[in-house]
Amino acid sequence: MSEREARADVRRVAPGHGRPAVSRRRAALGSFTKVTPARFTLAVFTAMIALFTGLLSLPAATAGGERTEFVDALFTAVSAICVTGLVTVETGTHWSTFGLTVIMIAMKMGGLGLMTLASLLSLSVMHRLGLAQRVMTANETRAERLAEVGGVLRIILITSTAFEVATFVALTPYMFVTEHGIGESLFLGLFYAVSAFNNAGFVPEAQGVAQYLGDPFFSIPVALAVFAGSLGFPVILVIVKKLRTPRRWSLHAKLTLTTTALLVGIAWLGYLLLEWSNPATLGEEPLHTKILASGFASVMPRSGGFATIDVASLTAESRLLTDLLMFVGGGSGSTSGGIRVTTFALLMLSIWAEIRGNPDVEVFGRRIPHETIRQAIGVLVMSATVVFLAVFLLLRMTSFSLDQSMFEVLSAFGTVGLSTGITSQLPTEAKWVIIACMYIGRLGPMTLGAALALRHRTRMIQFPYERPIVG
């Protein structure tokens, strides 16, 4: 046997050499370039951010006709696509009608979901979906079965449009009554409707929404739209299909609605008590204003981002409560960010099961798989790591306090948009940190990790068990 034949024979039989080196490299490259739902979503989101950054960089996008600095245009584009609402320039005064329209379109596309939008276009043009599109859209909409994707898309389009139209119809006449012109009232009503249901939090008026403190004609429609948008389309799908039979609702829907009601109720009571005697917020307001403003504030940290109360004037306890609510966020598959309501609920249920000594996590007559609990823990740890690193960087880059830096980072990661007023004062390098937080918070730490992973490791050999000491 020749030396060349011997080397070829070794490659055939040696461990890890089942294929030639060139084939292995090609396989590795193929696994890296393989289009997965997570990678495709990352690519499309990045492309859309680049597009809207370019549009917002045009002189026509600003009220003064000058070009916006690149980092500010990028910051606004990311904030709109990721439906956050944090801004480094004043939305109501810096942008022209064209710029505000660009922001409104970006909010709509970001909230509806770029994967969902692409599939809707496919449905309208080809009247059918391919398997790859169904898999990717199921990942975005959290459909339980691929066969449900078409129905999910239709309900997403119908419900989102219905809520936005209803909010638009409720707000536009009120805007006209409050001394706005017809054209301006129509634009403001549409902008607020899109911003509210998609949980974006952008405000097109220079006076902000503090002027509507305790105003039921503004607060109630906007709060309802934010609340509906933060539930998540999987929950809306279940409610629409099985409205009269709540016992047949999915575990996800029951868990999301129950936990959401508890969080909103606790937050409502918390803001009411904590700000009751605060002269800088609700201390001097009548009872009905205190109740309505506290209720409005209890919904906004889920990802809404509108603030009729000055966030910087809140008590330290109220800001801490807001931090927790922003970190939790809204429902899975919704326009909100954070670790999501179901993740928080599963973590609390697993702690309760451990305290009671139960071997399984049980709720609503169902047992939660251990893999789901591990996933919830993974989301919590990865999210906390992102928040910690971002806060650390902000403290190094700025002179703001820990309270201010933590609030800003959590608002960006939870795609909320509330701020103590430091966003426009951030240096350029700190703006990049907040941009990254918004991007990661919208796509989700687990989605980002899956998109960057080259391959999934399968272990054929497992080590024996040994229990370490905990606590």
pLDDT digits (tens, 9 = 90+) for 385-410: 999 999 999 999 999 999 999 999 99
Count of C-beta atoms within a 10 Å radius of residue 359? 9
The rounded percent of the chain whose pLDDT value lies above 70 is 79
Residue for token digits 């922001």? 103
Q: Over 80: is that where the pLDDT of 92 sits? A: yes
The rounded percent of the chain whose pLDDT value lies above 90 is 49
Highest mean pLDDT among 135-139, 141-145, 164-168, 375-379: 164-168
**Residue 440: HSE in the Cβ half-sphere, 13 Å Cα cutoff:** 25
The predicted structure's pLDDT at residue 301: 92
Q: Over 50: is that where the pLDDT of 343 sits? A: yes
d(CA 245, CA 249): 7
Give the relative orientation of helices 287-299 and 216-231 as an angle to the nearest 10 degrees. Answer: 20
Q: What are phi and psi of 391, to 5 degrees?
A: -65, -40
Q: List Cβ neighbours of 125 (8 Å cut-off, separation of 6 or more).
A: none
What are the CA-CA distances from residue 206 to residues 90, 203, 209, 267, 425 (Å)?
Answer: 7, 8, 9, 28, 18
Q: What is the mean pLDDT of residues 48-61?
A: 94
What are the CA-CA distances from residue 321 to residues 196, 285, 314, 316, 418 (Å)?
Answer: 22, 21, 11, 9, 13
Among residues 398, 419, 426, which one has the least CA distance to residue 323? Answer: 419
The predicted structure's pLDDT at residue 19: 47
d(CA 61, CA 233): 32
Residue 263 identity = L
The mean pLDDT value of the chain amounts to: 82
Residue 101 identity = T
Q: Would you say 330 and 232 are in contact if contact means Cβ atoms under 8 Å apart?
A: yes
Q: Over 90: is that where the pLDDT of 104 sits? A: yes
The predicted structure's pLDDT at residue 59: 94
Q: Which two tokens stand for residue 241?
A: 């299909």
Can you give the chain as a three-state secondary structure string?
A: CCHHHHHHHHHHHCCCCCCCHHHHHHHHHHHHHCCCHHHHHHHHHHHHHHHHHHHHCCHHHECCCCCCCHHHHHHHHHHHHCCCCCCCCCHHHHECHHHHHHHHHHHHHHHHCHHHHHHHHHHHHHCCCCHHHHHHHHHHHCCCCHHHHHHHHHHHHHHHHHHHHHHHHHHHHHHHHCCCCHHHHHHHHHHHHHHHHCCCCCCCCCCCCHHHCCCHHHHHHHHHHHHHHHHCHHHHHHHHHCCCCHHHCCHHHHHHHHHHHHHHHHHHHHHHHHCCCCCCCCCCCCHHHHHHHHHHHHHHHHCCCCCCCCHHHCCHHHHHHHHHHHHHCCCCCCCCCCCCHHHHHHHHHHHHHHHHCCCCEEECCEEECHHHHHHHHHHHHHHHHHHHHHHHHHHHHCCCCHHHHHHHHHHHHCCCCCCCCCHHHCCHHHHHHHHHHHHHHHHCHHHHHHHHCCCCCCCCCCCCCCCCCCC
d(CA 414, CA 295): 20
Residue for token digits 């629409």? 240
Question: 17 pLDDT band (50/70/90 cuts)?
Answer: very low
C-alpha of 238 from chain center: 21
Q: List Cβ neighbours of 418 (8 Å cut-off, separation of 6 or more).
A: 85, 201, 300, 301, 305, 307, 311, 322, 326, 407, 411
Q: Over 80: is that where the pLDDT of 57 sits? A: yes
The predicted structure's pLDDT at residue 436: 93
Q: What is the mean pLDDT of residues 17-46?
A: 57
Q: Over 90: is that where the pLDDT of 375 sits? A: no
d(CA 97, CA 467): 63
Of 7-11, 59-63, 76-80, 296-300, the poorest mean pLDDT is in 7-11
What are the CA-CA distances from residue 48 to residues 45, 204, 450 (Å)?
Answer: 5, 22, 20
Q: What is the mean pLDDT of residues 125-145?
A: 55
Of 145-149, 294-298, 316-320, 340-344, the poorest mean pLDDT is in 145-149
The predicted structure's pLDDT at residue 143: 56
Q: List Cβ neighbours of 88 (8 Å cut-off, separation of 6 or more).
A: 71, 72, 75, 76, 423, 424, 426, 431
Question: 469 pLDDT band (50/70/90 cuts)?
Answer: confident
Which residue has better confidence, 120 or 214?
Answer: 214
The predicted structure's pLDDT at residue 358: 86
Q: What is the mean pLDDT of residues 437-462?
A: 66
Q: Would you say 199 and 303 are in contact if contact means Cβ atoms under 8 Å apart?
A: yes
Of 26-35, 46-55, 451-460, the poorest mean pLDDT is in 26-35
Question: 12 pLDDT band (50/70/90 cuts)?
Answer: very low
Residue for token digits 């770029």? 114
Q: Over 80: is that where the pLDDT of 38 sits? A: no
